[in-house]
Each structure stands twice: as structure tokens, then as C-alpha cells.
Structure 1
């Protein structure tokens, strides 16, 4: 609203101040002019009565006196001369309100008698006759009698009213002019302030390049200059803060570790994507209602309380969805007061898994080498000690030694191949391959093995593209390993089905069996080195080294493809891989 603005308030203040001064001035002026007109009328009447009385006292002829009186008197007044011989003379008048003053009134009216009785010196008196206010001035004569001048106050009041109207009109015009100039002056004064208000509003919206025009060189102009300088400084500092914030946000967001920033009440201030994932997994594991606000993990709450209580960094561990997390919670200080904490959460699952794999690798290699070495040593001692009497027995022992040496060589070669693959040193010999014939050939070579194991092997083809680019030997190694595993884990009368699909984009192959299956807890580790399922379900004479699937995964990934497994215990297992038809 206008009256709530600076212009309105300033204009209203000026208007009220000037109006108050004008009202006081007009009141005193009206009082002054009211008394002034009456006083002036009395003075004129006194002078007139004094002149007429001096004429009468000069013994002039009464006719001369009366003619002179007619000339001297005010047309709106009436003069009455009381002679010493009790005769009276009454002048004419233009004021009809004085027509009541006549000989009858002089002789019979009590007020007229009081006037003549009280005149001992020049005096004035007012009275009311027939609702007419009349003022009279009397001057005594030396030889007795008096001269009275009468005048109606209506004339004086009319003059006073005219003066009052003029004063009120002048006051009204003055107030109008004051209002106009007050608004004009206030607008001129506050125009730069309004510009500054608009600029300040723009600053609150982040428009720090807003400038206020410098219209004057006075204090308001200096204020505009300082305001612009303040805007420049704010823009500079905000840009610096924004850059630091973006830099910090980028650093936090790009961190592999989860980061929480919490206040004392446990409210999340800053969180990055890994921390979001940890929080979602924790709430999912603890079956929190998704419609409700996510809760802070208990371990983090306990760490926060401990940090606040002891004012030191706290290390906690947490297990969520089978993954191991370590959280380092550090206090945040507001001067000497702990205002919250920063929690850095690291997923240690992979490190601990790798550490376990390293230990298991040593144990597995030792285990895998110990058996053939023991057999080599035992059968060699048997030959050296001549335990084998006949040539056939010695040949049998030598054959066993030979097979175990081949097994050791195969294990060492596979270890070397796997090490090269995991080091990224695998070399692919890519060539164009007739996919259908390639797969049929590989499946066909297992016909003898499946007959010996009484397992049914079938092939289903859906080939829309016949030529693919791949390292045929490496892919054959993968497919051979998958089919061989399926046969070895199938019981007599079991089925192994190979499904192959090709199009212009990829080659997809599935090897499905209805064998013993893989326990759910072992599925994440089937492609690790030396992984073997429950040994009780593996045919003793056909145990592998546990490196085939790890090698297969590296070969498929080298072809920019992917390999996966689906299995259900006692229902069977399906291994599948997919590679591009065009090698890039």
C-alpha cells in the first residue's frame, strides 16, 4: 500500500506537519482578525463620536452639526445626538438592521435609557435587540447630553466571515500544494532507494550483477556507489564459494567411498551416491517401509553418539546384504563445540575377498600339487624298490606316473594362462568363423563321452547370421569346458542341452543340464580360481583343477562379451555366454 511505503510515510509526515502548522496559524489568524475588525469598528466609531461631540460642543448651528454628521458618519452606522435640552437627533442609515433605533426606542427602551445614564466618558457597549447584535460608542457632551454611534455587528461578522473564508481557502491551497510537493519531493528522494530495493531483491534471487544507477552526488548517491561495490564483492565471494562447493561436491560424488555429513540430531546434511546405496541397502535389509522416511543405520547412530560424547574419531564395522563395510566417523567442530560428524564408509568386501582368494590360492595350489607329487613319489619308490615284479606292473606304474605328470603340467599351464589373462596379456587370434559348423563340430566330439556316461546330449540352433569374428580356439576352449562340466555333473540318464542363437549383433550360447545344481551360496564364486562344488557330487575319477570357469570368464571378457550362470539345487544348471559377432 501507498501509505506503508517510504514515499507515503514521508509525504504523510510532511503533510501532517504542515497541516498542523497551518491549522494553528489559521486559528490564531481568525482570532486576530475577528478581534481586529471589532476593534477597528470601535476605533472608527470612537473617532466619529469624538468629532461629532466636538462639533456639538463648538456651539455650531444644529443644522450644520447634523449636516456635518451625515457627512462624517459611516453609511452603515446610525448616529444619535442627545442634546442638553433633552432633544434627540437621529441620523439616517443604509443598514436596515438599525431601523429599530428611533425616537420611540430612545424614549421607551430600557437599554437606551441605560446607555444615556452610563455615559460619563467615551465608552463602547454591545447589546442585542430583536436578534440583532449592535455595538455602540458614546461620547459625553460638555453641556450635558451625549453623542452615540450605533453599528450592527452583522456587517463586521460578514467582513470577518469573508476574511475567514480567505484564510481557509489559502490554507486549503497551501495544503494541496504541500501535498503535491511532499509527494514530489518524497518520490525524488526515495526513487534511488526504490532502485536499491529492486536491486536488493535481485540480489536475493542470485542476480549479483545488478547495478544501481547513481543519479545524485549526495549521501544517497554515495549509498548507491557503495551498494554497487557491495554487489561486486558479493558476486566475487559467491562465485568463489560456488566454485569451492562444486569442487567439494564433485570430489565427494566421485569418491568410491560413501560419505555422510550429519548434525548432532542425526540429520543428513551431505550424502554421496555410494552412501545412498549403503543407506538403501540397510533400510531394505531391515525391512523399512519405503513410504516412510529412511532411517539412519544403528551402527552410524551409535558412532555419532560416541563421537559427540567422547569428541574423538570412531571406527565401526557393519555387514549389509552380505557385504562388509568399515566406517570412520570423525567429529565436526563449531569452534570448540561438536556440531556433527563426517562418516566415511568403505566397502571392504572385495579386499577381504581378494585376501581370502590369495590365501585360498596358495592352499589350493599346494593341495592340487601335493596329490600328484605324492603319487609320483610313491610310484617312483615302488619302481626303485622293485616292488613291481613283472614288466606289466612296472609299465602300469610308469603309466600312472606319466598321467600324473601330465596333470601337473596341465595345472601349471592353466595357472600360467590364467595369470596372463588376468594381467591383460591375453592375445586373441581373431578370424572369420562359420558359426553353425563350428558349434556342431564341438558338440559332436562329445558324443562318445556322453554314450560312456549314459547322458543325452542335444543341440538346438537358431542361426540368422552364419559368419562371426572370434578366436575359434579360445571359444572352443570355453564351450568345451562348459559341456564337459555339464556332463560330469549329470547322473546317468541325464540330459545336456546346447542352445545357440546368432544374429547380426551377437552370438548367444547356453549349456543346460539337469544335474545336481550349484548351491545358492556358491553361485557368486563359480568363476573364481579353484572353485569346486561339493566334492561329494563330483565323480572322483574326473575331478578338474577348478580353473576352467575362471579361464572361460577371462576369454569371454576378452571378446567383449559376458558369461553368467543360473542354477537351482537338484534341478540343474545353465551356463550362458554372449559375444559380439563383429570383433572391434
Structure 2
């Protein structure tokens, strides 16, 4: 009886019971949630299939119903049957129990995919006034069906209905099979977890027992302090053993050595350099990263000011925290390193300062980013100030009397409106860049036909090209796969590149839009022109924000200096690349790549 009570009170037994109960509860909750979400997923997917099928049929079948509204019914039935055979795709997805019916405006079936010809001319009653999903249970077979009715209208008038009905038996069967698998997995997981928990509990308690026995043996001497023992399990016995161990000096020494090793390990693996010095400035501790940052060997006992070479050394002893910056290789912009040094005095509790610690941090990138931020703010301020100054001067001129001269006032207002539009475009581009930088811009990616997208882009600029007598050609070398992209965002990129080509191509020049498939599954799209080109020295910075080759010409043509930056962010968000090549005075080629659709993505 005594052994049984000891076993029940043991940590091992408590761990086993608690972990098994937690595992059972977790698996039950996960199972209920999983089955619920699985059923919701399959039903949602099935609704989407029915909706997609109805949308695919709606236009052409609706046109057929309208065209043959007063014609021969045989021709209408024949054409609708042909359209059903051509456009119905649900059967290809193993949904053999799916039936598609086409009804006229009175509810009579005029076309069906059912093998039962008796379904023809049958009339459905109680048809809804809007697109509706519904469930139906067949009392004869006990099967459940999902139905979808979509209205077809032409010129605001109802011409017919699309009725699609599919059996839910296969969906339920799939869920049942997955449920059975989940139950089996749960049983196996529970058994395995229980076995592992027992092993884990024994792994925890066995060493505890051994440590207890060893501590008791080591502390078989005098002791004064005791730890309260509040239980009779292994933890309680361990507390009794440590009552002996607490007074042992060897433990304190071991802990001190362990802390020293930890400190050395931390110093060796820190990403910042650390140098500790005594009150006189002699080095007493250093790590490898400090030597790497300073690119020199540091010897213990060496004066710290000889190592750091500060422009303004401070007096010792150090009484408060100080910060300074050390710039290395200042004459070479590419190799310049900026190191922030933080000096902190070492003051043991209740004692005077005994030394100080210098923490060295490489802040080169932060300083560069801060400089870029300041340049960006300056550029934005300049870009906004220029149109605001123009608007203010013209408004002042109008206020001074120009408003009473209709022709002059109209011209001033036109200029003011143009400058306001320019600021609007600039702010819009800045907001879009901000969303792209913060990864908050949504991308509605889907399969896109490259040929169709490029043809529409060429059509949008055909009129501008004819006005400037520019030859615009579209060249697609071979059959291209569809790309996985956001059509609106890629249209924005194409519009920007083609617009730039039209702006900087003189009259009589030419622009070519070329698309080809790259090895590796990427599709490359290029916009080439015979314009003024870009000097070689400017090519490396052409994608920078607000960077312009010819600032006066760019502003006159209405550019914000952000178009190529936005294009680069959009292409990179599509996991593609964008690059530019140009010969000054001869022309420019801008190319970008987009990923091709794989079968899994298309489906």
C-alpha cells in the first residue's frame, strides 16, 4: 500500500496523466475544427465550380436564347446542345453526377446534359428572382444535391436560366475517408505520445533521483540552512538534498567558473565589439569582433586611446556614459566604415568606478540609410515646392489684375491646373511606393495571356505614335505561356515604359515591343526605342527615386522621377527582374521578366 501511494504522488505519474489528457483534448479540438473547415472548403470549392460553369455558359447561351426567341425551337435546341457539349467542364473534373439544364424565361428546359431525354421540355416552378444556391435531398435515394440557378438577362430583360445540380455524395465520401484517416492517425498519435511521455517522465525523474542521491552523498557534512520540504515526491527529496549542498563551497566555485565561461562565450559571439579597460584606460578584456572592426590586433594592457585614436579623448576616470563616432578609411567612400562607440562606466554596487566598457557598433549602413532618407525628404520637398511656387506666383498675378483679362487668366489657370495635376501625380506615386515598401500593396495575381496584354498596351499608345510619326511594332517570337501576374500592375509597368519611349523618341523614330520565352520558365518582355538614349554614367542610377538624366526636360514632359522606381518594385514583387540598356543618341531597351504559370497555379 505504501509503494502504491508513493507511485501516485510521483512526478512521473503526474506528468503522464497530464500529458495524456492534454493530448486527447488537443486531438479532439483539432479534429472537430479540421473536419468543419474541410467540409466548408469542399462546399465552397464546389460552389465556385458551379458559379464558374454558369458564368462560362451565360453569355453564349443567353445570346442563343435571345436569338431564337421567336425562331425554330429545333435550331435553338441544337445550338444550345452544341454549346453545352463545348463549354461544360464540370464532367471533366470527375463530377459525373452533375447535370446542367438550360431553361427559357418561362422555366421550360430547352437544353440539358442529362442522359434522360425525358428531362427536355420539363418545366421548373418556383424559380428565384436572383442567382441562388440551394440544397436538395432525394427521398428515393437519400442523396443530397447542391443546386445553383443563375439568371440570364439581355438589355435588362430575362431571357432564361442556367440550372446546375450536382450530387454531394462524392464530397461526403471524401470527407468520410479523410475523417477515418484522421481517427486512425489520432489513435496512433495518442498511443505513440503516451509511450513517449512515459519515456520522457522516466528521463526526467531518474536523473533527479540520481542527483538527489549524489547531493546527499556530497553533503554528508555540517550544514545550518535548510530548504522547506512541502511534498514527498522527487522534487521534495531533491530539496532535502540541496539543503546539504547549499553550504558547500565547491558549488559556489563551480558556479563562478560556469559564469566566467558563459561571459567569455557571449563576448566571443557578440555581433558588437567589446573592449573593457580599468580606471587608467588599460585594456583588460576584448573580443574578436572588436579586432575585426578596428582591423588590428589588441593586446591586453594596451592603452585604449592608442587603439581607438579618438579625435577628442576624454579624461579618466569615466563617471558617466558617453558616445562618439570613429570614421575609418574616410578618403575612400566605398571602404568607409563608421563605428559608434559607447563608453559605460563599471560601478559595482556600493563602490566607486573601477573601469569602463567600450561597445563598438558598425553603423555604416544605418548612416547611409539616414543619408538616403534625408536626400529623399529633400527631393520630395523640392519637387513639391517647385509647382507650389509656380501656382502661388500665377495666383498672385491673377489677384493683381490678370483675372480681368480673359485670355491671360485662362492661360494662367491652365498652368496652375497643370502644376496641381503634377503634384497629384507625384503624391500618388509616393503613396504607391510607400505601400510597396511596406508590403501593403495587394497583388491580384492570376494567369494572364501575354499576347493579349501586349496588344492592348500597343493599342493604347497607337494614337500618340501616329501623332509623332513613330513606328510602333509588336513582335512575339513564339507561342508564349501564360504568366502569373497582376494584370493591372503589369499594365502600369508597360504604360510607364512605353510612355517613356514615346516621350524621348523623336518624330520618325520607332518603338518595338518584344516578348520571348527565356530558359528556366520565365517570359521576357522588352520595350526598345530609337530615342535620345541615356548616358552610360547615368544607367546605374536610373532606377533611383527622383533621379533624372535631364531634369529640365523631364519636368517639361510631366515626369515625376518615380515611374521606373515603381516599375522596379512591381516587377520584383512578381519575382522577376528589370534591367535597362542604352546607347546615348541611339536608343534604349528596357526588359523585364515574369514567371510563367505552372499547371498547379493555373488550376
TM-score (norm 2): 0.43
TM-score (norm 1): 0.44
